[in-house]
Amino acid sequence: MQSKKSLRDFSLLIALVVICAFFAIVSPQFLSARNLSLLTTELSITATLAMGMLLVILPGNIDLSAGSGVGLLGGIASVLVFEHKWPAPLAMGIALAIGILIWFCMGNLVVRQKMPAFIITLGGLLIFKGLFWLVIHNSTIPIVQGGRANLYSVLTTFYLPLIAGYALAALIVVALIVGKLRARKARQAYGFAVEDGEVVFLKLFLAAQLIFLFVVVTNKFRGIPFSAVILGVTAFAVYVLTTHTPFGRYLYAIGGNEEAAIISGVPVEKVVVGSFSIMGAIVAITGFMQTSYSGASTTTVGDLMELDAIAACVIGGVSLKGGQGTVPGVLFGALIMACLLNGMTLLAVSPEFKFIARGAVLSLAVWMDVRLRRKLL
């Protein structure tokens, strides 16, 4: 069990290092502070959506409509702001509510009408795309009124002040250490096996260094991008949800064996509908970030983002059958996808080859996953 995990993580780490090294050599800009800051924003957008995708895939479903939803919900907010002159927070609140409602309905179709999520969300993919284009009348809708920044536009243009960045990093490191030590003590008290003290120290030390390195690098450009904070909050919330709440346990139980979950008294319908509803909220938030990053709502916003999110999950070790997958794994998967996309954009790779490369990486990841699993089981 333990060795299986480390082998997997190891192979992912190698893949990441190889990808980064390749881009760094071919294009020295790749490691520039400016590009890493951009990469962070791109990662934040992909990974946030992947967090929601994890919640949907864990109980054995899938969401193909997320990309179209990103465009649609971002588009609704832009139209409300630009054409109807609504304040940005209100417009975004409305779009968020619509997102939750739509995904709540799709979740209900899955559990009550027993329609496969694949089909429902495939329908959603097309319907939302059509609605999106209707909403923005096939044109480009800015997200601001008269060039004034608003909450919508700052999502991807605001950076934490340099001092705040360091403070935040220090806070996270302290929280990490306290949390880790507490969990370790609790495990010891209950007689579970714990990691060697030195290993724990090394891990914490490494994590702290990475966090501060991240702050140093982003501060060299403008500071920690606000979108990274959004990702941090989302990922933390999903982490707590999946590991420390009954709801999270139920997600794994349903994905592991739905019939046994029902007999064990797991409220399967509520849990699945809940996972879709949260996905709705996350799609809306991702929609705001992605639209903000593009600067305006255009017909291509959100294209294929569902596949990037699914790819991030799969690369990060989430089983498409459900029941397996963790937040750190998905973050790692998203990082690999984001590096790949960012690097290719930097190299001005033509879109044809970008598609091919994305597809190849996804297939490769699944192939590796299947192979490792077979070998180790």
- Separation CA 284–CA 99 (nearest Å): 6
Q: Is 348 in the site for other proteins (CB under 8 A)?
A: no
CB 367 → other proteins: shortest distance, Å? 21
Indicate whether 264 belongs to the interface with other proteins (CB under 8 A): yes
Tell me how far CA of residue 241 lies from CA of 52, 120, 139, 279, in angstroms: 11, 25, 39, 13
Q: Looking at 266, 305, 315, 339, which residue binds other proteins (CB under 8 A)?
A: 266
215: left (phi over 0), alpha (psi -120 to 50) or beta: alpha
Among positions 304-323, residues that touch other proteins (CB under 8 A) are: 323
32 binding other proteins? (CB under 8 A)? no
- Of 201-209, 238-246, 274-282, 307-315, the segment contacting other proteins by CB under 8 A is 238-246
Based on the shown chain and the rule CB under 8 A, indicate whether residue 245 belongs to the binding site for other proteins.
Answer: yes
**What is the rounded CA–CA span in Å between residue 302 and residue 72?**
9
Identity of the residue, 5 or 34, whose beta carbon is nearer to other proteins in the bound complex: 5
Residue from 3, 190, 196, 351 binding other proteins (CB under 8 A): 190
**The one segment of 9-17, 71-79, 187-195, 301-309 that binds other proteins by CB under 8 A:** 187-195
Task: Kindly state the smallest distance separating residue 376's Cβ from other proteins, in Å.
Answer: 12
What is the torsional sign of CA 342, 348, 351, 356?
negative
| Shortest reach from residue 196's CB to other proteins, in Å | 17
Q: What is the nearest approach in angstroms of other proteins to the Cβ of residue 267?
A: 5
Judged by CB under 8 A, the residue of 178, 244, 350, 360 near other proteins is: 244
Q: Please tell me whether residue 178 binds other proteins under the rule CB under 8 A.
A: no
Residue 324 engages other proteins in binding (rule: CB under 8 A)? yes
> Which is closer to other proteins, CB of 9 or CB of 269?
269
Binding status of residue 186 toward other proteins by CB under 8 A: yes
User: Using the rule CB under 8 A, which residue among 261, 278, 327, 362 binds other proteins?
Assistant: 261
Nearer to other proteins, 146 or 191 (CB): 191
Q: Contacting other proteins (CB under 8 A), which of 222, 252, 326, 357?
A: 252
Give the one residue of 249, 281, 294, 372 binding other proteins; rule: CB under 8 A: 249
SS3 for the chain is CHHHHHHHHHHHHHHHHHHHHHHHHHCHHHHCHHHHHHHHHHHHHHHHHHHHHHHHHCCCCCCCCHHHHHHHHHHHHHHHHHCCCCCHHHHHHHHHHHHHHHHHHHHHHHHHCCCCHHHHHHHHHHHHHHHHHHHCCCCCEECCCCCCCCHHHHCCCCECCHHHHHHHHHHHHHHHHHHHHHHHHHHHHCCCCCCCHHHHHHHHHHHHHHHHHHHHHHHHHCCCEHHHHHHHHHHHHHHHHHHHCHHHHHHHHHHHCHHHHHHCCCCHHHHHHHHHHHHHHHHHHHHHHHHHHHCEECCCCCCCHHHHHHHHHHHCCCCCCCCCCCHHHHHHHHHHHHHHHHHHHHCCCCHHHHHHHHHHHHHHHHHHHHHHHHHHC
The answer to the question of residue 259 lying near other proteins (CB under 8 A) is yes
Q: Whole-number minimum distance, CB 258 to other proteins, in Å?
A: 10
CA distances from 273 to 53, 117, 276 (A): 14, 11, 5
Which one, 12 or 253, has the nearer CB to other proteins?
253
**Considering beta carbons, is residue 161 or 246 the nearer one to other proteins?**
246
Does position 267 interact with other proteins (CB under 8 A)? The reply is: yes
Of 152-160, 166-174, 247-255, 358-366: span binding other proteins (CB under 8 A): 247-255
- Binding of other proteins at residue 113 (CB under 8 A)? no
Q: Is 196 in the site for other proteins (CB under 8 A)?
A: no
Q: Which residues bind other proteins (CB under 8 A)?
A: 1, 186, 190-193, 240, 244-246, 249-250, 252-253, 256-257, 259-267, 323-324
